């Protein structure tokens, strides 16, 4: 969480708190399963409990936090089965969006994506997980939004929101950051060449590598028992 409350805030206190909490979750400051201590957050962000509660309700609806009676709010945790299902659905929906975007996307789309990818690379080199997660999301959704199908985009957005905390875990590893940069470059190359099959294949690989890495986090291998 930035902790810099002096910067210009969004229109409402609720939007400000919502943005700060979402950033803390997607940036890995608040990890899956971590408790959200409302009194401390309200004091830190200099807001009352009312906008904080409203922001938490919004994040609960998005699936980023969960509420336990008598215990409070916690960052949502996913099972391996949940994660694999979400990524499988993403593959189906995003393939349709990308193929459509390659047909009807605006002129200069690839140049826009390349500029965003430079931000991904800078963040990866600096080891700035939060900045990389944010730039990565803009890269993918600039491409997805270009499909011109708002209902499809909303469905994909919901799936992304539910796994943001885990994406930050993935980017913590320098090798994973380098892998993502390599895959983005390959996607850009395929888009420039109008090679739909290659673009879809690289995006499939991009998701698959993330799932494989997160599988080790969610379902680590147990050590063999000694005889």
Per residue in 73-125, pLDDT (tens digit) is 999 888 889 889 999 999 999 999 999 999 999 999 999 999 999 999 999 99
Whether 206 is covered by a domain: the verdict is: yes
Is residue 168 predicted with pLDDT exceeding 80?
Answer: no
pLDDT by residue (tens digit) across 56-73? 999 888 778 899 998 999
Clarify whether residues 67 and 103 are in a common domain: no
Clarify whether residues 183 and 140 are in a common domain: yes
Structure tokens at 32: 């899956």
Q: What is the pLDDT of residue 222?
A: 43
Domain end (from 75, 102, 121): 75
- Give the neighbor-by-neighbor strand order of the sheet with 72-75: 35-36, 72-75, 65-68
Q: What is the pLDDT of residue 1?
A: 57
What is the number of domains present in the chain?
2
Clarify whether residues 71 and 107 are in a common domain: no
Clarify whether residues 127 and 59 are in a common domain: no
Share of residues in the chain with pLDDT > 70 (%): 91
Is residue 180 predicted with pLDDT exceeding 70?
Answer: yes
What distance in Å separates the CA atoms of residue 66 and residue 168, rounded to the nearest whole number? 19
Q: What is the pLDDT of residue 111?
A: 97
Clarify whether residues 112 and 159 are in a common domain: yes
Domain end (from 23, 50, 75): 75
How many of the other CB atoms lie within 10 Å of CB of 61?
11
Structural domain boundaries, residue 212: 80-218
Q: How confident is the model at residue 214 (pLDDT cuts 50, 70, 90)?
A: confident
Structure tokens at 44: 């830190």
Residue position matching structure tokens 């997980």? 129
Q: What is the pLDDT of residue 2?
A: 54
Q: What is the pLDDT of residue 224?
A: 47
Whether 145 is covered by a domain: the verdict is: yes
Q: What is the mean pLDDT of residues 203-224?
A: 80
CA-CA-CA-CA torsion sign (131, 166, 202, 89): negative
pLDDT by residue (tens digit) across 135-167? 999 999 999 999 999 999 999 998 998 887 787
Whether 223 is covered by a domain: the verdict is: no
- Which has the closest alpha carbon to 76: 65, 89, 87, 91? 65
Domain end (from 24, 45, 75): 75
- Which has the closest alpha carbon to 139: 93, 90, 203? 203
What distance in Å separates the CA atoms of residue 194 and residue 213, rounded to the nearest whole number? 30
Q: What is the pLDDT of residue 177?
A: 94
Structure tokens at 196: 């739909």
CA-CA-CA-CA torsion sign (8, 165, 97, 196): positive
């Amino acid at each position: 969480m930035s902790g810099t409350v002096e910067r210009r805030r969004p229109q409402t206190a609720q939007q400000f708190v919502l943005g700060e909490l979402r950033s803390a979750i997607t940036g890995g400051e608040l990890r899956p399963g971590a408790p959200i201590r409302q009194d401390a957050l309200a004091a830190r962000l200099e807001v009352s409990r009312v906008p904080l509660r409203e922001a938490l309700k919004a994040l609960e609806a998005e699936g980023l936090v969960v509420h336990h009676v008598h215990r409070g709010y916690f960052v949502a945790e996913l099972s391996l089965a949940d994660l694999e299902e979400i990524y499988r659905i993403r593959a189906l929906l995003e393939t349709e969006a990308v193929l459509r975007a390659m047909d009807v996307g605006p002129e200069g789309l690839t140049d826009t994506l390349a500029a965003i990818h430079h931000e991904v690379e800078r963040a990866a080199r600096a080891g700035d997980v939060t900045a990389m997660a944010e730039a990565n999301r803009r890269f993918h959704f600039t491409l997805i939004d270009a499909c011109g199908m708002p209902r499809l985009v909303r469905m994909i957005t919901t799936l992304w929101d539910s796994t943001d905390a885990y994406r930050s875990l993935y980017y913590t590893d320098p090798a994973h950051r380098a892998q993502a940069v390599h895959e983005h470059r390959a996607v850009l190359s395929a888009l420039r060449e109008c090679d739909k099959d290659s673009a879809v294949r690289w995006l499939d690989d991009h998701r698959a590598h993330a799932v494989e890495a997160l599988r080790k986090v969610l379902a680590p291998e147990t050590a063999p028992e000694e005889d």
